[in-house]
Structure 1
């Protein structure tokens, strides 16, 4: 790949606060000013995302180009899934609510700044998580968390795609009673039984640090993923735990179970198919669920040192 490699941009026209056509014009201006050829592959409905991402990878592979994802963490994850193992470099233009993946790697949060830094970025290997073969960049979960995401989308359709809407909707969901998951877990040759309202698998140090889960964050430095579970808890206690997490003190509550792994098999008793949230997108997957570190890293276009933003 050269510094003039063409860019194939998969852009989610539903993400961000400006219209998709306007963002394409802005990006085209930035990239062409930088001497780069660019082709846009718009995604107007979620059902088309995987197919469009695969198309972008095919085109990029034919000319040693860069596959670029413009959208929220779900869009980035889907395009990364298509790119993984292709030997194509992968660039991002974050446009979501929290943008944990982009923030973790110092990518600017405004689309123009991210585009300009992409022109000077270089590929570096980045760890990817898998759940039943599906890639995720930030997190994957089952139980309460997918329910939080479904409720959040309903709130956003009514009130807009703002961070405060996501927070308010999450707190409202926590105030309702929730069933406990009944799990059998295999990890490194050891089995354990676990009852919990949610099982959360993380792959993002920034998200763990901001929640106060330092042990889980350290696991990522060792090339592992980290599992987080909450002891069986009623709605009021979940609400209190969420507030502790919001101020970075979740790990000190004594109600959280966390452990590292490279491969984890989860049997969900009483469920053949399970709702799994992977980077904000919900999938129905067959039990048992197998979470693992991908044997192949993603070749992420990481900003040059001078372009890198503070992790915040």
Structure 2
């Protein structure tokens, strides 16, 4: 559908997450008027002021975009982008992003600028190109999914952001503080293509973003985008060892740590031994979910058609 249409002629249906702050709202609106208005490119902007409104807004925008054979664009962080991508993926409509989050791994990995004006200008020339999407129990994974320690660290990070503001420094510091707290280990049973792994671990992390995995120094990072994701789990360690591993990650050498088990996979089933009757808390692209086990991680057979620069001008995922 959308992948066959020239992006320069499609109307753009833009969803913006107002939670990014008043400054960001004005910044996006000004860029849209200046760039798209100046180029006489048709667009419609929908502002979502509360998280609970997002579902209805996405359905309304999808209907209009389908009727007009347009493209969906979302302005927000990786969590908001993920929510909209869940709805867009089955439709095959072109999908664009204006990164507005803290880390913006999804946009950065596909050559989409973090500068708002530059990202809007890209929409005038970008072409829909297929990008790999991961799934967990049919929920989209664009960047990563995790259970155990990492979801709790994300909750701590969001609390710190509300108190001290949204920045990468606040995110890093809140994560380090969180590592010093006592955590319970998970007893997991993992199966991938006939291989069974029984492991006690504080966290299991599934990566679908090559840029993030390269930044951690994972040797399997090149697998991403070739029909595989990267799974990594930490062997049981003390709090000081967790801090050491955090330092390894910050220095881009986590993949060389003895305490890390990692492997590439296109399909992984995870059970929490003794707790399969209870939902499992996990983080998906920065959003906390509760899913009923077993957790089935896999690469989607359907790609997302992302409006991005041609491959010669950006790194592959």
Show the 5 A alignment for 1:126-205: 126-205=131-210
Who is 2:262 aligned against?
258
**Shift, 1:309, TM fit:** 6.2
8 Å contact from structure 1 (residues 7, 65) kept in 2: yes
Distance in 2 (CA, whole Å) between partners of 1:132 and 1:282 is 14
Q: In the alignment, which of 106, 112, 121 is matched to residue 107 of structure 1?
A: 112
Distance in 2 (CA, whole Å) between partners of 1:58 and 1:18 is 29
8 Å contact from structure 1 (residues 183, 195) kept in 2: yes
**Shift, 1:166, TM fit:** 0.2
Give 5+ residue unaligned stretches, structure 1: none
Who is 1:223 aligned against?
227
Distance in 2 (CA, whole Å) between partners of 1:138 and 1:228 is 14
Who is 1:302 aligned against?
308
Who is 2:12 aligned against?
7
**Shift, 1:83, TM fit:** 0.4
8 Å contact from structure 2 (residues 269, 296) kept in 1: yes
Who is 1:48 aligned against?
53
| Post-superposition CA distance 1:30-63 (Å, at most 9, x none) | 1121221111111212222233223222211111
Distance in 2 (CA, whole Å) between partners of 1:17 and 1:194 is 46
Q: Is the counterpart of residue 27 in structure 1 residue 32 in structure 2?
A: yes
Who is 2:289 aligned against?
283
Who is 1:232 aligned against?
236
Distance in 2 (CA, whole Å) between partners of 1:264 and 1:33 is 48
The TM-score, its normalising length taken from structure 2, stands at 0.93
Q: In the alignment, which of 248, 257, 267 is matched to residue 244 of structure 1?
A: 248
Distance in 1 (CA, whole Å) between partners of 2:56 and 2:295 is 24
Q: In the alignment, which of 98, 117, 120 is matched to residue 122 of structure 2?
A: 117
Distance in 1 (CA, whole Å) between partners of 2:219 and 2:22 is 33
Which stretch of structure 1 is more off in the superposition, 15-24 or 149-158? Answer: 15-24
Distance in 2 (CA, whole Å) between partners of 1:282 and 1:47 is 15
| Post-superposition CA distance 1:40-98 (Å, at most 9, x none) | 11121222223322322221111110100101011111111110020210001001101
Distance in 1 (CA, whole Å) between partners of 2:148 and 2:114 is 30
Q: Secondary structure at the match of 2:242?
A: helix
Q: In the alignment, which of 269, 280, 290 is matched to residue 274 of structure 1?
A: 280
Distance in 2 (CA, whole Å) between partners of 1:51 and 1:123 is 25
Q: Secondary structure at the match of 1:98?
A: coil
RMSD (Å), alpha carbons: 1.7
Q: Is the counterpart of residue 36 in structure 1 residue 41 in structure 2?
A: yes
Change in Cα spacing, 1:141 to 1:4, as seen in structure 2 (3 Å) is same
8 Å contact from structure 2 (residues 186, 201) kept in 1: yes
Q: Secondary structure at the match of 1:84?
A: helix
8 Å contact from structure 1 (residues 4, 35) kept in 2: no
8 Å contact from structure 1 (residues 177, 234) kept in 2: no
Give 5+ residue unaligned stretches, structure 2: none
Q: Secondary structure at the match of 1:75?
A: helix
8 Å contact from structure 2 (residues 112, 119) kept in 1: yes
8 Å contact from structure 2 (residues 20, 76) kept in 1: yes
